Structure 1
Amino acid sequence: MLIEVVGYDHPDAVRLVEAIQREMVERYGGPDETPVTPAEFAPPRGLFLVGYVGGTAVACAGWRSHGEDAELKRMYVDPSVRGNGLARRLLAEIERTALQAGHRRVILETGDRQPEAVTLYRSAGYADVEPFGIYACAPGSIYLGKVLDVPAPAG
């Protein structure tokens, strides 16, 4: 998978975010209503990534600054390519770029109707954190975070 930085309003990003929202409607009965703007995913305060396989956009994820943390948003892999490790690769790139931008922790909100996402995050070292955002009091919301490893200085 080729991972590229794109704007949140890039046509491939828009198409994948629309697919995420359709999946949220199927799983939860409505879209994710967390307010987001393209500017939040523009460097240096954020970043949005799209993963391509064979020239086709099949995965996406972004982070935006949330205080000192980077908040992971809009993580998605097209069902046709799930189970191939693409989400794990995308998550690693989110962590790498957030760390490079000066963040020491990635936080996220997901839900109990996304067990595969919860499994991915927990297996990647994410643990429970304090709730935040518009779903902080919503039943079934799961809040996770991970302290990022700071590379040892060279030499």
Structure 2
Amino acid sequence: MTSVAEPRGLTWRRTTVSDPLVRPMLAELGHEYSARYGKDAHGELARYPAEEFDPPHGTLLLLLEHGEPVAGGAFRRYDAHTAELKRIWTHSAHRRRGLGLLVVAELERAAGERGYRRVFLTTGPRQPEARGLYLAAGYTPLFDTAADPETIGPLPFEKLLPAPAGPGSTTESEG
């Protein structure tokens, strides 16, 4: 488990599903899924073994504020070149602060470091906030956005990650 400082007094924590700080994220996601879809969400939250979110193929991140989790998410290996985002979450008391965009961007950065060149994800048809988040983060919908989401089922999105900088390449900060 590692922590990295973030502007605005926020801290990133790379961790595992077994970390006690992950419990609020999973509990709130479970409640949210159950409220929106009318069924017990524990099966969905347990669909993937916890190890799939561990390095070297995955990562679970929490965004902490004063030591408390306020947002988080994870990715797992989808295929050799693709990371799949899962469990993107912002605590209900901390929504509308742009934390979801921070989580998605940090997961993309971490996936790129692991060599992934594409990010894939799905969100449920009754999660319009998530749909808006992924569109705002530059994801391409892989479905007809004019169709009723309930007729589609899980809504798939993708985003291509930039190629890593190679030897001899320059960045804007280099002069």
TM-score calculated relative to the size of structure 1: 0.88
Correspondence for 1:23 among 20, 27, 32 = 32
- Separation (CA, whole Å) in 1 of partners of 2:152 and 2:105: 29
Number of residue equivalences: 148
Deviation for aligned residue 1:14? 2.6
Deviation at 1:140, TM superposition (A): 2.9
> In the alignment, what sits opposite 2:5?
none
Q: Which has the higher contact order (CA 8 A, sep 6+)?
A: 1
Structure with bigger gyration radius: 2
Match of 2:44, SS state, is coil
TM-score (norm: length of structure 2): 0.79
Equivalent residue for 2:55? 43
Superposition RMSD in Å: 1.7
The one-letter amino acid paired with 2:19 is H
Matching residue's letter, 2:98? G
Residue 112 of structure 2 contacts residue 164 of structure 2 at CA under 8 Å; is this kept in 1?
no
Q: Distance in 2 between matches of 1:95 and 1:105?
A: 9
Q: Which runs of 5+ in 1 are unaligned?
A: 131-137
- Mapped to 2, the partners of 1:61 and 1:47 lie a distance apart of 8
Identity %: 34
Bigger shift: residues 40-49 or 143-152 = 143-152
- What is the SS of the residue equivalent to 2:103? helix
List gaps (5 residues or longer) in structure 2. 1-9, 144-150, 171-175
